[in-house]
Chain A
Amino acid sequence: MGRFHRHEDGTVHEHDHGDHDHDHGDHSGYHTGSQRIEVLEAIFAENDNLAALNRRAFDANGIRALNLMSSPGSGKTTILSATLDELAGQFAVGVIEGDIATDLDAAKLAGRGAQISLLNTSEGFGGECHLDAPMVGRALSGLDLPALDLVIIENVGNLVCPAEFDVGEHAKAMVYSVTEGEDKPLKYPVMFRSVDVVLLNKVDLVPHLDADVDTYAARVREVNPTATILPVSARTGAGMDAWFDWLRAFASGRWISEI
């Protein structure tokens, strides 16, 4: 489907020649009286405008918001459970829990002192594969914002789509488990480049793998030289104190993005 033309400035141009009937010899107009209108509008503009509104709502309530991303099965919800237990009594935390369907993750997070707003992603700008700003905006109505210090937005497990959507957060973190293989930063550079913090999870399993922690960290560094890399094991608790310290600094406004 489609034809691609390479322009002199390096751009390539696809022209979809489908089942329509325009004159291929005349590219000046596809239809008698056709008029060209310059648009130059970002396709993400609507999402980005709503993300700015979300950010304003967080700021107005003195809240710091973190967008937490990962592939499925990386241990994101387990890390979040331990995090809520640790921060209980120190910070008032809200969680926006994105999931394609089911409330299984929300149930795991209940009873840990945090407000939970569940968001199933079957509707919205992007459907099932990520959270977008309109969805997060709707989820805010499920939280008592004036009572909160920190909102953690647990995104849908996916290394591609969530990286594309600003949802109004102040920082992005991702969980990257060593069982996913050390090549993932090179395969998903957009995601790995977008984040401020990488939690390198399941480091207790490293003795059973072919690569060591330094190799994983080096691969992350290859695409993102400035991210904070925190090796942790949610199962044993190893390294988790460094993550809690980072989050406390973030929640109290002591953390400022280097980007």
Chain B
Amino acid sequence: MHELSLCQAIAGVVKPHAAGRRVDVVRVRLGALRQVVPETLSFCWTLVRDHHDMPEAELELELVTAAVACRPCGRESDIESRFSVCCPNCGSADVSVVRGEEFLVTSVDVSERV
């Protein structure tokens, strides 16, 4: 719902690292629990990148599936449902999220402007 402003934030993270160089690739790691729609983020990026002087910058998304550790049954499982973080094994909600809340810029590729 707020992917456009998230793209502004991504550009804000990238800019100091680019330091005026041409940005070729921006790599973002995105967890399934972040409520960000990957297709929307990719589309919004094509609108935002021009305004931040990085029109060539390609957005690469590394999507991370969610996983929870269940306290009652002790098992760690991947979460398939978009709607629930309950333990797929025993159904308990007494879980801790071990993966799926990532949202960071992992790396950028830059080159000297020709």
Contacts and interface: CB of A to CB of B under 8 A. Distances in A.
B13 A43 contact: yes
B107 A36 contact: yes
Nearest to A35: B110
Interface in A20-49: 20, 22, 29-47
Contacts of B4: 127
Given A13-B61, A43-B13, A34 B85 contact: no
B12 A46 contact: yes
A21 B39 CA distance: 21
Given A190-B33, A223-B86, A130 B2 contact: yes
Which label, helix, strand, loop or mixed, suits the secondary structure of the B interface?
mixed
B109 A127 contact: no
A163 interface: yes
Contacts of A22: 24, 58
B39 A39 contact: no
Interface residues of A, number: 54
B92 to A, nearest CB: 8
Contact of A160 (B12, B35, B42): B35
Contact of A40 (B6, B93, B105, B109): B105
B78 A10 contact: yes
A125 interface: yes
A133 to B, nearest CB: 12
A39 B108 contact: yes
29 contacts: A1-B39, A4-B63, A7-B62, A10-B64, A11-B65, A12-B64, A13-B63, A14-B62, A16-B42, A16-B61, A31-B24, A31-B56, A37-B17, A37-B108, A39-B104, A39-B106, A40-B106, A43-B6, A47-B9, A125-B9, A126-B5, A160-B35, A161-B1, A163-B35, A190-B33, A222-B86, A222-B93, A224-B93, A225-B93
Interface of A: 1-2, 4, 7, 10-16, 18, 20, 22, 29-47, 124-127, 129-130, 158, 160-161, 163-164, 186-187, 189-190, 193, 221-225
Interface of B: 1-2, 4-6, 8-10, 12-14, 17, 22, 24-25, 28-29, 33-35, 38-39, 42-43, 45-46, 56, 58-65, 67, 78, 83-86, 93-94, 103-112
